[in-house]
């Protein structure tokens, strides 16, 4: 195959660009077949493959050499097992079947037959966990998306858009033309391989008992009940904490679920990972355990048994039954007492760690709530009860005087490394990225932070085919104002990435509230 063009993607990733989707499939196959230790993710997209590494195990330089060597290897020299073939049952009963068939000069029955006879390949995933973009040499049609996307597409709907076919794993908005429904479980967070349609897999649609619809007006009915928009509430056999008020938003978070971007699953996890780790250490608990991420304060909770807890991150009054206690210190929480985190004076997110950690349903190996994808336990609500896990590994450390202080939410400096599409912007804009004091807009959450400031001017018009994304990527949409992706951000995107926030400074952004000023510095 043609040697890919390698672009930097921050300090720990490489974006390999090739000329076609067919070349992406070939490069992805080669990379997954020869994957060395230290590779965290290999994420194919429309014209690129994003390789993310753990620099402690595999340097970016070594990763670049591996990618080039894999691309240049003779096709016959790597003995690779053929990709798996997945059979997906389908009924061709979609609301848009008749309209699409007429637009491409076929009858509904002919369209169904062509779709079912084609051998499809999963090119990449994105949009939602388990949503596979399928392509086929047997499918020559280019189907336009709906002019107005649907507010609700049911789970199991099968659709067409451009050269792709795909199936919706869960109920979600969407603009694809719907031609059928499937009863297949497309995404199972408890499975060893959560996504049924993983990149590289071959797919055949098997026709079920026909219910061809030629009217094209009724909404498609899924073959199985749609998956809920939010996960079920966590249940606890032995509750330890009851939520009285969650405040603006409170979620269960741990260190996230890295390594699943190719299945459409973002890393998620605590927005301020260091603060959660610190709070857990203060109560002698494994740093990978789960705690409560509290946004802007307002949490009230009652202990149902005697507990130890610690709070780290954002700064505000902390009270046990009305008595003030200190942050960044292990505290006793007697049974029946109410913990109250009042509104934060500094920062945005604080973490309540309880000795032993919190038990919650795991999804793709993590207890974290992903607010965009709906994975993990739902955001906490009044009346929720949480049980303890068994993650305590050491005694509660002795009290000590430590140099803790409130987070700086007036001006935050973050270091950034080069992005893959910096050359899409003129020199003045690349300079402005570092000389401007940006301001956090009101559009800031776990998915991303939109910044106010000067418009960054592109040198290239047109759309960028979707490519892999990571938390900390600084995307620039057509408005020209940057957006920094957060832990729940999408795993693919079509806006150019001008730079990437370093892992060491990304946690600082978790404490940025509207109006906070942000300065970018070149990574050392």
Q: What is the pLDDT, as a whole number, of residue 9? A: 98
Q: Among all chains, which residue has been given the structure tokens 């009305």?
A: 322
| Packing angle of the helix pair 21-33, 60-72 (nearest 10 deg) | 110
Q: Which DSSP string do the residues of 178-234 spell out, in sequence order?
A: EEEE--S--B-TTSSS-BSS-TT-EEEEEE-S----SS--SPP--SSPPPPSSPPPP
Q: Is the Cβ–Cβ distance between 492 and 31 less than 8 Å?
A: no
Beta-carbon contacts of residue 241 (< 8 Å; ≥ 6 apart): 301, 302, 303, 304, 307, 354, 358, 385, 386
Q: Where are the alpha helices (DSSP H) in 256-319?
A: 273-282
Give CA–CA dist 237/218, Å, rounded. 44
**What distance in Å separates the CA atoms of residue 8 and residue 61, rounded to the nearest whole number?**
10
- Residue tagged 């509904």 (tokens): 108
Sheet containing strand 85-90, edge to edge, reads 85-90, 202-207, 120-126, 128-135, 164-167, 157-161, 177-181
Q: Which residues pair with 42 in a beta bridge?
A: 51
**In whole angstroms, what is the distance from residue 139 CA to residue 125 CA?**
19
Structure tokens, 49: 């493959």
Between the alpha carbon of residue 335 and those of residues 291, 384, 395, 397, the distances in Å are 18, 17, 20, 21
Between CA 123 and CA 136 the distance in angstroms is 9
Nearest-5° angle of CA 131, CA 490, CA 450? 150
Let me know: does 316 contact 345? Beta carbons within 8 Å. Answer: yes
Can you give the pLDDT at residue 237?
A: 57
If we measure between CA atoms, which residue out of 226, 205, 196 comes closest to residue 160?
205
The pLDDT of residue 81 is 63
Burial level of 517, CB count in 10 A (0-12/13-18/19+)? Answer: middle
One digit per residue, pLDDT tens: the chain, 524 residues? Answer: 678 999 999 999 999 999 899 999 999 999 999 999 999 999 999 999 999 999 999 999 999 999 999 999 876 545 556 777 999 999 999 999 999 999 999 999 999 999 999 999 999 998 889 999 999 999 999 999 998 999 999 999 999 999 999 999 999 999 999 999 999 999 999 888 899 999 999 999 999 865 444 434 344 444 343 444 444 444 445 899 999 999 999 999 999 999 999 999 999 999 999 999 999 999 999 999 999 999 999 999 999 999 999 999 999 999 999 999 999 999 999 999 999 999 999 999 999 999 999 999 999 999 999 999 999 999 999 999 999 999 988 999 886 656 788 888 799 999 999 999 999 999 999 999 999 999 999 999 999 999 999 999 999 987 899 999 999 999 999 999 999 999 999 999 999 999 999 999 999 999 999 999 999 999 98
Q: In this structure, what token pair is assigned to residue 324?
A: 């003030």
Residue from 32, 56, 43 nearest 9 by CA: 43
Residues 6 or more apart from 316 whose CB is under 8 A from it? 297, 341, 342, 343, 344, 345, 346, 350
**pTM, full prediction:** 0.88
Q: Which residue's entry shows tokens 């992005």? A: 419
d(CA 72, CA 167): 34
Q: Nearest-CA neighbor of 481 among 443, 516, 427?
A: 443
Residue with the two structure tokens 């995933």:
125
pLDDT at 427 (0 to 100) = 96
Q: Say if residues 201 and 86 touch (Cβ distance below 8 Å).
A: yes
- Sheet hosting strand 39-44, strand order edge to edge: 5-8, 13-17, 48-53, 39-44
Structure tokens at 513: 């509230």
């Amino acid at each position: 195959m043609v040697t890919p063009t390698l672009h930097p993607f921050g300090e720990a990733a490489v974006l390999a660009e090739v000329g076609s989707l067919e070349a992406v499939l070939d490069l992805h196959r080669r990379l997954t077949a020869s994957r060395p230790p230290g590779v965290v993710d290999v994420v194919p997209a429309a014209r690129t493959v994003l390789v993310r590494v753990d620099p402690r195990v595999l340097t970016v330089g070594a990763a670049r050499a591996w990618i080039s060597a894999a691309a240049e290897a003779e096709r016959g020299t790597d003995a690779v097992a053929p990709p798996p073939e997945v059979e997906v049952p389908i009924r061709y009963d979609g609301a848009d079947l008749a309209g699409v068939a007429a637009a491409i000069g076929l009858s509904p029955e002919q369209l169904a037959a062509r779709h079912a006879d084609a051998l499809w390949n999963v090119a990449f995933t994105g949009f939602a966990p388990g949503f596979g973009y399928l392509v086929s040499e047997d499918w020559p049609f280019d189907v336009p998306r709906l002019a107005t996307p649907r507010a609700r597409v049911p789970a199991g709907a099968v659709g067409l858009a451009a050269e792709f076919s795909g199936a919706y794993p869960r109920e979600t908005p969407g603009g694809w033309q719907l031609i059928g429904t499937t009863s297949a479980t497309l995404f199972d967070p408890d499975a060893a391989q959560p996504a049924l349609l993983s990149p590289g897999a071959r797919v055949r649609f098997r026709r079920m008992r026909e219910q061809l619809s030629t009217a094209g007006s009724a909404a498609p009915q899924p073959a199985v009940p749609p998956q809920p928009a939010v996960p079920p509430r966590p249940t606890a056999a032995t509750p330890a904490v009851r939520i009285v008020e969650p405040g603006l938003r409170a979620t269960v978070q741990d260190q996230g679920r890295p390594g699943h971007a190719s299945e459409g699953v973002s890393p998620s996890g605590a927005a301020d990972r260091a603060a959660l780790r610190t709070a857990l250490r203060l109560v002698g608990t494994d740093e990978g355990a789960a705690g409560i991420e509290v946004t802007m304060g307002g949490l009230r909770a009652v202990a149902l048994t005697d507990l130890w807890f610690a709070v780290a991150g954002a700064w505000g009054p902390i009270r046990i039954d009305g008595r003030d206690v200190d942050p960044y210190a292990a505290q006793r929480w007697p049974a029946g007492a109410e913990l109250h985190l009042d509104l934060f004076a500094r920062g945005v997110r604080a973490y309540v760690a309880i000795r032993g950690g919190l038990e919650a349903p795991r999804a793709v190996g993590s207890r974290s709530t992903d607010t965009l994808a709906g994975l993990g336990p739902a955001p906490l609500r009044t009346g929720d009860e949480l049980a303890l896990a068994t993650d305590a590994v050491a005694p509660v450390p002795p009290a000590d005087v430590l140099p803790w202080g409130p987070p700086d939410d007036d001006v935050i400096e973050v270091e950034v490394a080069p992005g893959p599409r910096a050359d899409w912007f003129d020199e003045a804009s690349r300079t402005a990225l570092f000389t401007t004091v940006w301001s956090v807009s009101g559009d800031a959450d776990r998915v991303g932070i939109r910044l106010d400031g000067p418009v960054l001017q592109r040198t290239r018009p047109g759309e960028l085919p979707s490519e892999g994304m990571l938390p900390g990527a600084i995307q620039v949409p057509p408005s020209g104002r940057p957006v920094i992706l957060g832990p729940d951000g999408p795993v693919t995107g079509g806006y150019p990435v001008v730079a990437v926030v370093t892992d060491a400074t990304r946690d600082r952004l978790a404490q940025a509230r509207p109006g906070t000023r942000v300065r970018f510095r070149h990574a050392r």
